[in-house]
């Protein structure tokens, strides 16, 4: 099980690393690249076209501003692509989000929230879990742990606010 992670610029890495951390926690191998749809189009196309042959089963493509990278990746491979919009100085990342989510019919890109690195990693794991049931079990444990953490915070808040009743 392998996820290809591509970002338009190394400045996207602080957001992308959150997806990498999730993938690592679930034992998913990654290939990470910095490729631009505009500045290195030949290399970006080659990466997308060769993804399946390299064993990549899901791709996360992070990009800001015009954010064409996820769409270019999706156009050149049948591997599922998750678009990760990066917040830029322009429009607080809304430009990136809209560029990624507004794909033409036939070339979908699953899209997570602006700077939603964690969810990009989680969605990649969920997609892979269709083929690898052990990932589905690990995801169930991950969610159970999240539930426990929220319930512990709830109980703590109940205790802290006892005097306000």
For the question of whether the overall pTM of this predicted structure is more than 0.85, the answer is yes
Q: Which residues of the chain have pLDDT under 50?
A: none
The matching CATH number, chosen from 3.40.50.720, 3.40.50.1970, 3.20.20.70, 3.30.230.10, for 2-131 is 3.40.50.1970
pLDDT at 111: 97
Q: Check: CB of residue 5 under 8 Å from CB of residue 58.
A: no
Residues 6+ apart with CB under 8 A from 90: 65
pLDDT tens digit sequence for 3-49: 999 999 999 999 999 999 999 999 999 999 999 999 999 999 999 99
pLDDT at 89: 74
pLDDT at 24: 98
pLDDT at 90: 74
Token reading at 119: 């969810």
For the chain, the domains span 2-131, 133-165
């Amino acid at each position: 099980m392998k996820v290809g992670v591509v970002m338009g610029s190394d400045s996207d890495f602080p957001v992308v690393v959150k997806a990498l951390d999730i993938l690592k926690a679930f034992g998913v191998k990654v290939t990470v690249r910095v490729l631009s749809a505009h500045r290195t189009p030949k290399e970006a196309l080659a990466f997308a076209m060769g993804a399946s042959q390299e064993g990549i089963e899901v791709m996360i493509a992070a990009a800001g501003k015009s954010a064409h990278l996820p769409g270019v990746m999706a156009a050149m491979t049948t591997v599922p692509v998750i678009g990760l919009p990066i917040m830029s100085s322009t429009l607080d990342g809304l430009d990136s989000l809209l560029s990624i989510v507004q794909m033409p019919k036939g070339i979908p890109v699953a899209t997570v929230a602006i700077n939603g690195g964690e969810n990009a990693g989680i969605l990649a794991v969920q997609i892979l879990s269709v083929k690898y049931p052990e990932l589905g079990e690990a995801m169930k444990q991950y969610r159970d742990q999240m539930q426990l953490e929220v319930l512990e915070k709830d109980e703590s808040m109940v205790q802290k606010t006892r005097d306000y009743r």
